[in-house]
Every structure is written in C-alpha cells, then in structure tokens.
Amino acid sequence: MEFKFTAEHDALRREVRAFLATALAEDLGRSRPTSQEHWASQLGFLKKLAANKWVAPAWPEAYGGLGWKHVKQMIFSEELAYAGAPDAGRVFSVGMIGPTLIVHGSEQQKREHLPRITSGEAIWCQGYSEPGAGSDLASLQTRAVRDGDDYIVNGQKIWTTGAHHADWCFLVVRTDPDRPKHKGISFLLADMKTPGITVRPIVNMAGHHEFNEVFFEDVRVPVANRVGEENNGWYVAMTLLDFERSNVASIAANQRVLEELARYYRERRPGGAYGNIFRHRLADLAIANDVGRLLSYRTAWMQETGRAVNVEASVIKVFATELAQRISNFGVNLQGPGGALEPGSKHATLGGELAKDHESNVSPTIYSGSSEIQRNIIATRGLGLPRD
C-alpha cells in the first residue's frame, strides 16, 4: 500500500473543503433547528451537491456520476463527514439502490430512477427489517402475490430510516412461501405515495425521529418495478456495490469529536489524578482513531486495485462503530455532570451534543449487520474458523 496521496488527491481534498466552507456556511449560525428546518437544509445541500455532479461522483458518467475511483470517493466521503455535512438519504440512494440498479436493473428502471438520484430529486428508504426478521433477514414474512401486472403487497417493515421523507422504497418480499427461505424472495421498488402504505414514527432514545414502521395493506406494486427475476431477490438484495464501504465517514466524524474534546480539556485542565487519566484516555482514543483511518484507507486502496474487501469491510465496520461508542462515553464522563445534559439546557457543556451522540451511537453497531454478524464474517471468511 502507498502511504501518501497523489497531487490529484490533495487537490480534490482542497476543492471539497472550499466547497463545504461555502455550502455549509449558512447553517453554521443556526442553533437547534426544527425538524422541518433540518430536513430543508439537507435537501438544500443535496441540490448543491447535484450542481457539482457530486451526489454520486463514483457512478459512471452515463448514470450522472464522474467515474471516480475508490480513493477519490473515500476522500470525498471523509471530508463531508468531518465537516458534519448532511446526508439527505444518500446512504440509501447512492450507496444502495443506485448501484443495485446499475448491476441488476432494467434499462427502463435505470432511465427512470438514476437521473432523479443524481439530480437530488428522489429520496429513498430501505424496506428490509421486519419485527421478526432482523439479522436473519431471510425469515421475512411480508408477502407479495401476483395479480396480473401487479403484485399485491401485505406486511410490515420496521426501523425504516427516513421513510417519512422518502419518495420511494426498495423492499424485499416473499413471493413463494413454499420455497426455502432464501429462494422465494423478490426485490421490489414501491412508490411511497401508493395507497395502502402507512408510515408511523419511531423516536429513538436520543429523541430523534429517524426510524419508522411502514405498513403495507393491499399495496399494488407493478411487476415492472421488480428488480431481477421473481424469487431471486435475495441475491439482488445482497448486492453491495457500495462505494463508501471503507467506513471512513465514521472515522472522520470520530476525529471531529476528539478534536472538540481536546479543546475542552485544554480549556478546563481538570487537575489531580483524574486529569492525567483523562489525558491518557484521550490519547489512547486518538491513536485508535488513527488506526481506524489507516484501515479505511487500506480498504479503499484494496478496492481500487481490484482486491476483494469483504473481511476488511467487516473489520472496519466493527472497529469504527464500537470506537464511536467509546469516544462518546469518554466525552460524557470527561465533562462531568454537565456532559449528561441535553441540548437546550443552560448547564449543558459542549451544547449537550455528546450526550446525544452517546445515545445515538448505540444503533450503528446493530444496523447494516450487527457487530456479532460482522465478527462471524471475520471468523469464518477471514480466519477460516468453522461455523458455530
């Protein structure tokens, strides 16, 4: 692995930083925006990315991208995450459904959906998890029954991030209950305005409305909206042509928090034995985050050179998400009683943001494959250990 970036990479980093300094400037002075203001600012930022063709820059130019290779995409993602830039659903539209359509979609599906993603017009959500099917997704029970040119869909999805904002949902459904559970699944695209779809909010313990329950009651989805063959949707669903697989965004966000905690420590300088303990723990976390950054860089380098990164992606996913929990836990304790107060409290230190992070950082170790699932992948595919 080459441990330095090229002049082209450095120029891109400067360009992205300059863009972000301007694009995010109007939101910097806004304190505690309402949920409507927050979403409006996300959409506004998405439009600014679209103007630069930066919504999905790693996609082929034919589909509205710039054909960037993995390292350039990683640099872009790192800078956005470090700056705290809004996501506006890009993780689902750019990281999941877009690449899946590029590989498995029909020409009509590509023409209909890909330009609306790169222009920032369409917001997507993911209909995978169900109340009885999380890590064991193949146990899903949402049914789709063929009726002429439509499927009639009935069932429930849960933990559906951003469903209350989404225009479309990509979901997996059971089209043949008599086949083995991995074999009777199909992959559909559903317009969220279709009659019979109901979205109910799930507010997480940090007080944020990100997740939702989505109910499908006799929802008609055209057969033309099926991606891939009927009953072969499991393999479509598992397609991970994911250009942000290095997880560098988590590492960059961790870096921003660590720098803020270092400033806090320098200003307050807690004395006595606790002061030295805090200083040493902060140094340990900073070193760990640098390790995570190098793991992310290595993963992107491997992708760019055509190497498979299945195990490496699991390693950095576990490392980065669990490290985020350790950092926010440390940060709350470093601040003392004020660190446990929520934003808006006059006694909250650092605006109460670390208290929210501490609560929010629980879910990343669960979604997109829990830490337990990732460790099984590392054990079996990376270390060659037998399955349980």
Lookup: tokens for 68: 């960037």
| Distance, CA of 232 to CA of 143 (rounded, Å) | 15
CA 117 to chain centre: 16
Name the nearest CA neighbour of 361 among 330, 328, 339, 333.
328
Task: Name, in order, each residue with C-beta under 8 angstroms of 351's C-beta and a sequence gap of 6 or more.
Answer: 343
In Å, what is the CA distance from 86 to each residue of 10, 94, 372?
A: 23, 14, 29
**Helix/strand/coil (H, E, C) string of 30-86?**
CCCCCHHHHHHHHHHHHHHHHHCCCCCCCCCHHHCCCCCCHHHHHHHHHHHHHCCCC
Catalytic residue among 210, 244, 312, 353: 244
| Distance, CA of 205 to CA of 342 (rounded, Å) | 12
| Distance, CA of 337 to CA of 189 (rounded, Å) | 48
267 noted as active-site residue: no
> Hey, is 301 helix, strand or coil?
helix
| Distance, CA of 355 to CA of 336 (rounded, Å) | 11
Residues belonging to the active site: 244
